[in-house]
Amino acid sequence: MLQTIGTAAAVFAGTNVDDIIILTVLFLTSRAGGVPRPWQIVVGQYAGITALVAVSAAAALGLAVVPDRWVGLLGLVPFGMGAWGLVKAWKARRAGKDGDDGDAGDDGSSRVASGVLSIAGVTVANGADNISVYTPMFRTIGPVSSVVTVVVFAVLVAVWCAAASWLGSHRKVIALVERTGAWLVPVVFMVIGAVIAAESIFR
């Protein structure tokens, strides 16, 4: 049992290190502009990880999954969200609504990931390659160990969210996001999307 827990923790940590970056950015924008709300970040993260685990479990049972070469296309999700955020920020600035009116929901950063579904989508896109790790694991460890692994994953999602919330609580960084989040956050999402796609292409 302890070995299963340790292995599950190591697998989760190894495949979700980059998730800390995304979660930290989301908590920063939440504190700077009020969107997305913290509970939406947590629920979206859980929904995304649940989807990845479900697909991996299905693949372990021999059901059809998306071919590895197409996984990189999911990078278009955060890339597109980032591009859309830049467009919105540019339009808001052109219209004279670049934040001076104090409406936090009007800035471009809040539109990058503003709800549970969009956050879940980014989580799935960023962790799509995790399926290639989770699938053989679920195929070999058996049903009881699989349940234990899922429980460990659920606990570590909470740990990841707590860590990202702490990292995103520094006042100087929040102030920076308040000033530059309309373009900085969308650019971060576009870079994440481009990296996901590039890793798939050059794998």
If one compares 77 and 147, the residue with the highest pLDDT of the two is 147
59 in Cβ contact with 130 (< 8 Å)? no
pLDDT at 178 over 70: no
**Whole-number pLDDT of residue 20:** 84
pLDDT at 143 over 50: yes
Domain residue limits at 51? 2-201
pTM strictly above 0.85: no
Name every residue whose Cβ is closer than 8 Å to that of residue 37 and which is 6 or more positions away in sequence.
30
* Number of domains comprising the chain: 1
**Whole-number pLDDT of residue 138:** 87
Which tokens sit at 111?
């539109």
Considering only 17-21, 33-37, 171-175, 199-203, which range has the smallest mean pLDDT? 199-203
Nearest CA to 3 among 157, 127, 154, 11? 11
113-139 pLDDT, tens digit per residue, is 678 998 998 888 888 778 878 888 888
